Amino acid sequence: MISQSSNERFLRQIPLIGMDGQEKLANARVLIAGAGGLGSAIATYLAIAGVGYIRIVDEDTVEESNLNRQILYHEQDIGSCKVVAAQRTIRAFNHDTEVDAVCRHIDETTVHDLVRGIVLILDGTDNFAVRYILNKAAIDEKIPFIHGAVNGFYGQVTTIIPGVTPCLRCIVPNPPTWEKNLIIGVTCGVIGSIEATEAIKYLTGSGVLLKNRLLFWDGLRGDADSIEIVCSPNCIDCCASVIEQDVYE
Amino acid sequence: MKIQVKAFATFREVMDSQIDMDLPKDATVRTLLTELTGKYERLGELIFAAPGMLRDFVNILKNGRNVHYLAGLDTLLDEGDIIALFPPVAGG
């Protein structure tokens, strides 16, 4: 339910998404996997848009080197558990947003608990091993998964709807070899904001989702481009759901 | 036959972001990459682990489908194909 004070808060956006859309945001339960640069931007924009419940998961503590991009944290948070500091900031943005702060590693044994009761998963992780785990859980539980990733001034986003769109493994079958990613905060801001935009559109039924398209952001050239992406019938993660979709068609 | 190549992320630092290529009729992804690495000197070391051996993490999409799930470097190209080349962007 939207509180009385919220009507004033959302005065400028309710005409865009409708009172019904605002109620949908208030009733939505989303998972933000990773409370880093992307997670910070996603959580900020979803909380101030009025999303009612955010489960945010990360096992790390805040380090000084995070502060060039992880806008949920302040200098006094260095050394603190990220999700606890994140919860404090998010609640300060919007006290009506319930924040479930989970300090836990995301792996095959924890992921199904983490997505329980969730209607949408947002990718704020920093590696493909965890992304593949989320991708598989999204397929298994039929929960939409908004993928985003950043490197330097570059970023990418797509909205994965299990059984309808290609999954992450269709697009990127092999993880990159490990490398320390270079990153500047503005790129996290752009990509996290696009992920949050996708979430708001999905939750309120607005606009056209980034389905079956992979959007690339190139901050160095001020250029965005998207390419069509299609399911791979022999993808090891989603082939079953694609076949199921073919049967329905 | 004419195909269009689009490069994304760090690949743009060694090649044009978009280029039209004119290839022989029976060209494959391998033919295309040979042409491209001839044209862009620094591209070869970025995408090949050894001559003719593509690095695992290089993504090549033919009209949106990763060639990993087709015939890899031997995937045949067709007139009007759009080929996307990108490394995984992994940070968060």
Under DSSP, is residue A130 helix (H, G, I), strand (E, B) or coil? helix
Domain enclosing residue A22, as ranges:
4-248
C-alpha separations of B46 from B13, B31, B71 in Å:
11, 17, 21
The closest CB to that of A34, out of B63, B87, B92, belongs to B92
Under DSSP, is residue A45 helix (H, G, I), strand (E, B) or coil? helix
pLDDT of residue A107: 98
pLDDT at position A180 over 70: no
pLDDT of residue A7: 77
pLDDT of residue A3: 66
pLDDT of residue A237: 94
Mutate to test the interface with A, among B53, B62, B66 (most CBs of A within 10 A): B66
Q: Considering only CB atoms, which chain A residues are within 8 Å of B69? A: 170, 173, 232-235
A187-223 pLDDT per residue, tens: 999 999 999 999 999 999 999 999 999 999 999 999 9
Number of domains in chain A: 1
Amino acid at B72: G
pLDDT at position A61 over 60: yes
CA distance A133 to A113: 13
CATH number at residue A90: 3.40.50.720
pLDDT of residue A102: 98
Q: CATH fold of B2-86, please?
A: Ubiquitin-like (UB roll) (3.10.20)
B29-78 pLDDT per residue, tens: 999 999 999 999 999 999 998 888 888 889 999 999 999 999 999 999 99
Cα of B33 to nearest chain A Cα, Å: 19
Q: Pseudo-torsion of CA B72, B74, B80, B82, nearest 10°?
A: 20
Q: What's the average model confidence in pLDDT over A71-82?
A: 98
Q: Considering only CB atoms, which chain B residues are within 8 Å of A212? A: 64
pLDDT over 90 percentage in chain A:
88
- Closest by alpha carbon to A139, among A34, A31, A237, A33? A237
pLDDT at position A240 over 60: no
The closest CB to that of A151, out of B6, B66, B89, belongs to B89
Among the residue ranges A109-123, A209-223, A225-239, the one predicted with the least confidence is: A225-239
Q: Considering only CB atoms, which chain B residues are within 8 Å of A219? A: none
pTM of the entire structure? 0.94
pLDDT at position A95 over 70: yes
Per-residue pLDDT band for A4 (boundaries 50, 70, 90) equals: low
